[in-house]
A and B are shown apart, each in its own frame.
Chain A
């Protein structure tokens, strides 16, 4: 197990190395999974992603703000079972308020500059996950939690 400093660094390194995450939202009947481009704030308290408002995930979020985001270092090789790490973030989503929009949009666009037009569209929502817990899995079966705001 890693101490808290190492754990935070490992998770941050994973944020830096990955562009996409799997977002899980809760639909009326069953969960729904989708791939989103994500970015993290420096303090690790928030994860950011964007979606157009016509999507199924957005509709789900209007009903239930609870989400899970999965980010991982897999390379689609069998070696992943031993070598890959995955982080699941659990938290609640909220749409970003006007006064913070520019600052958070900059963080998001620093990582994904090619999404500038997408973000600028009035039909797109930039969303923030207020992370409660990170769960990191490494070496196939070792699991460590990082609770935020405690």
Chain B
């Protein structure tokens, strides 16, 4: 049986093998709509590939690592990346390659094509979600086509698809993916159209941009928008866009560029063309018998249908469904470039200034009333920065991911996280803070003070005091943000003493081959593509550094709020509590900057005659290395000062208030999961074994347990 069916040969019984998209295109072509010439690689090819290479089982193992409900979206993204890399690094078996390459070469030769997903069921009314699977534009040559077919197959397991796995009925043993390969139409104008406005049944919507559709779909290019009366096609309103950019096919795929001046003032469609799109839309709706969501494109006034599928409305989305937000974190390069400027030029300097301004205010002279207002004001300031953190700083972390995918596509490394080697060593704040602590510890070691009255001796040591003052000026009181500000610099001195008792832990110097890795990555690109790759690497480095620095800066703002609260407690609270309602409310309203999985009710592990104990738990491999040591469970800030060098840090999440003990840790186990979370990044920076995403870690592991942290496989063994 042929694995490739030209559109013109597809009949109704092929639908389960060709998927919704290919089927819709083939029938629309038969009704006379202009559809770019193409073929469908049927789902059987996917099945042959995943079964004969063992990828099917590897996906199954990847997805059964832990219960899906226990996975944070970052872990879902990590799993999808690992799965994608398996497809990327596993070539087609020779016979399958021959079965696909011969007909593709025959049909397309060297013509540029679009390679798109056509998952069976993808476009049914039950599971019509845009953007779950991948499409690749401007692909040329059989080799490249087959490479991208593999990537489209991999996107059956994309992070977005995994988030909607239930709706899609994703199942390793049953799910499959067909692929559409079509000639690329180098169009001048493109867009989408909805035969029914989700907000108003009586209207239809048409959106259009200059250039290819990719810019509209990924949000880089703002479209012109027309609302039409559904019955007559009469234009009700036109909402013009600020037309600045367009996406066009370039040497390496597609790229965004500035729109020529003469097009900036011209809407992509005139009234006659709007009516033509509208009429194609109605034809599709009439033919399929349901409201349609259509993609179209126009070249030399010829209108092409790119896809048509049943329209889904947001009506059945649950109110607390966070998935659309997760998916909105996926940003394009251009979008991230704009965001970077905003973060570097505005957000971070303003956040630092806010903390500095608060730090400059003297709290000791304030009356009770004044201090109360000060606290409420500081909590407000902090909470407003937390909102900025969610809105702009978290999405900026996507720069790391964008680079990771570009790196993996270019290099196809065995380790899907090899790209992180190129990002480490960027001089992040957390590491610099630890560097200063290490300097003080080195001084304590070299001074050979005996442990007797060590604190007092250090208080008299001018060099040490200078370093301590310098440290506090730069990073504030370490313990702020941990509700222990009132302990003052002693907390830092104690920490330095502990650091000095252990051999110095050096932050990982950049691996020797980083320059070679960087060279080999950049060597894959030429000309304009090369400078794009360089810029992407630079963006990812900033994104990586910001992932840590923003937490430190935010911690400083929070520290200032806590410091005011401590001052109030010291002077005005009689019994160690706060009774004034407004103040109480403000303090309780201090936002958490990032999410930690909520702790469920403690598990009952004992009953008469039986006792249960976790022996080995699987999480996410987040920092390569292996470590064995006694566990120290950090339940709250007051546990921090008990941390001893060589212990394994077990906590909810390594946040800025914990980072400073990381160099003391032999290994790290975190409840919060992901490869790119703060703790994982810091662990990598020091080369410390780290496993994240063990939701029960702080209850199943007890302080004093001997634990082995396998950061290669993501496994923690207790005992």
Contacts and interface: CB of A to CB of B under 8 A. Distances in A.
Interface of A: 1-5, 7-8, 43-45, 78-79, 81-83, 135, 139-150
A141 B65 CA distance: 8
A4 B602 CA distance: 12
Interface in B156-196: 173
Contact of A147 (B65, B604, B612): B612
25 contacts: A1-B614, A1-B617, A1-B696, A2-B612, A3-B604, A3-B605, A4-B605, A4-B611, A8-B610, A44-B610, A78-B56, A79-B57, A79-B60, A82-B57, A83-B60, A139-B65, A139-B66, A141-B618, A141-B715, A142-B66, A142-B616, A143-B617, A144-B613, A144-B615, A150-B610
A38 B561 CA distance: 65
Nearest to A144: B614
Contacts of B63: 82
B713 A145 contact: no
B586 to A, nearest CB: 38
Contacts of A4: 603-607, 610-612
Interface in B53-88: 54, 56-57, 60-61, 63-66
Contacts of B617: 1, 142-143
B616 A148 contact: no
Interface in B251-294: none
A135 to B, nearest CB: 7
Given A79-B60, A140-B618, A144-B614, A149 B609 contact: yes
B700 interface: yes
Interface of B: 54, 56-57, 60-61, 63-66, 173, 603-607, 609-618, 696, 700, 713, 715, 717
A78 B57 contact: yes
A82 B611 contact: no
Contact of B615 (A2, A139, A143): A143
A1 B64 contact: no
B609 to A, nearest CB: 6
B60 A82 contact: yes
Nearest to B603: A3
Given A1-B614, A1-B700, A148-B609, A140 B603 contact: no
A147 B64 contact: no
Contact of B61 (A3, A81, A143, A148): A81
Contacts of A148: 609-610
Contacts of A3: 603-605, 612
A141 B605 contact: no
B612 A7 contact: yes
A42 B18 CA distance: 53
B61 A144 contact: no
Contact of A145 (B61, B612, B715): B612
Contacts of B696: 1
A141 B612 contact: no
A79 to B, nearest CB: 6
B620 to A, nearest CB: 12
A101 B705 CA distance: 42
Nearest to B605: A4
Contacts of A139: 64-66, 618
Contacts of B615: 135, 143-145
B173 A79 contact: yes
Given A8-B610, A147-B611, A141 B616 contact: yes
B606 A142 contact: no
Contacts of B606: 4
Nearest to A146: B612
A3 B607 CA distance: 10
B64 to A, nearest CB: 4
Contacts of B604: 3-5
Contacts of B61: 81-82, 140
A150 B63 CA distance: 35
